[in-house]
Each structure stands twice: as C-alpha cells, then as structure tokens.
C-alpha cells in the first residue's frame, strides 16, 4: 500500500509541475516524473510476493506451477517504456535548445507573447 501512495504522490507532483510551472524545461522534468510514476505503477502491479523469475531448470517443464513465477511481460513493456521516455526526453531537450536560441527564453508566458 505504501508503494501505491508513493506512486500517487509522484504522479500528482508531475501533474502539478506540468500545469503550474511556467518554465518549459521544468515542465519536461515534471513530465518525466509522471512517466516514472506510471512505470513504477506497472512494475508494482506485476509484482508477486514469493514468486521467482520464470527461468526453467534443466529438468524440464514437468510439474511447474504458474503461480510460483512472475509474469515477465509487464517488466519487458516497462523496459520499452523507459527507452521511449529517454528518446522523447532527448528530442524535447533538442527542441528546447532551439527555442532558447531563437527566442532567448523558456518561459511559456513570454514565449506565447512573442509568438503573437
């Protein structure tokens, strides 16, 4: 239960940063905090207490109970989500560098004022 409260706190922190902070770089960091909250949620939901990794012994698959193993699919999907998150963060940082060079600001309000 404590893990889920931590996840909710992380998500609210990210959501608040995305909606309340005027700096675009800080908004990007808040978006990353939200992504981490979602990834931790999926990993926490996939966790089974007392289960082991699904690696079969040399003896073969006879007599294996599925309840004793964790499902590797959520972990694999979250690994893919981490790669996508790093890629989108890199692209967004590149765009923020271009915005900063062209408009000399990362403040959303002054940037929108200059674009009008």
In a domain, 6, yes or no: yes
Q: Tell me the C-alpha distance between 3 and 24, whole Å.
A: 29
pTM score, whole prediction: 0.84
> Domains in the chain: how many in total?
1
The pLDDT of residue 32 is: 97
The pLDDT of residue 63 is: 59
The pLDDT of residue 104 is: 94
The answer to whether 11 touches 38, Cβ cutoff 8 Å, is: yes
Q: Tell me the C-alpha distance between 89 and 31, whole Å.
A: 9
In a domain, 52, yes or no: no
The pLDDT of residue 70 is: 81
The pLDDT of residue 100 is: 96
CATH number at residue 37: 1.10.287.3510
The pLDDT of residue 79 is: 95
In a domain, 63, yes or no: no
Question: In the chain, which stretches have pLDDT less than 50?
Answer: none
Structure tokens at 116: 């009008």
Range of the domain at 36: 2-47+70-115
């Amino acid at each position: 239960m404590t893990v889920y409260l931590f996840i909710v706190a992380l998500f609210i922190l990210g959501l608040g940063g995305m909606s309340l902070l005027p700096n675009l770089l800080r908004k990007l960091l808040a978006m990353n905090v939200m992504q981490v909250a979602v990834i931790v949620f999926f990993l926490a939901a996939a966790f089974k207490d007392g289960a082991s990794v699904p690696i079969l012994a040399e003896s073969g698959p006879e007599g294996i109970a599925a309840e004793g193993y964790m499902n590797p699919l959520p972990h694999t999907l979250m690994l893919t989500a981490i790669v996508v998150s790093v890629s989108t963060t890199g692209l967004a940082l590149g765009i923020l560098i271009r915005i900063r060079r062209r408009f000399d600001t990362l403040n959303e309000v002054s940037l929108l004022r200059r674009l009008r």
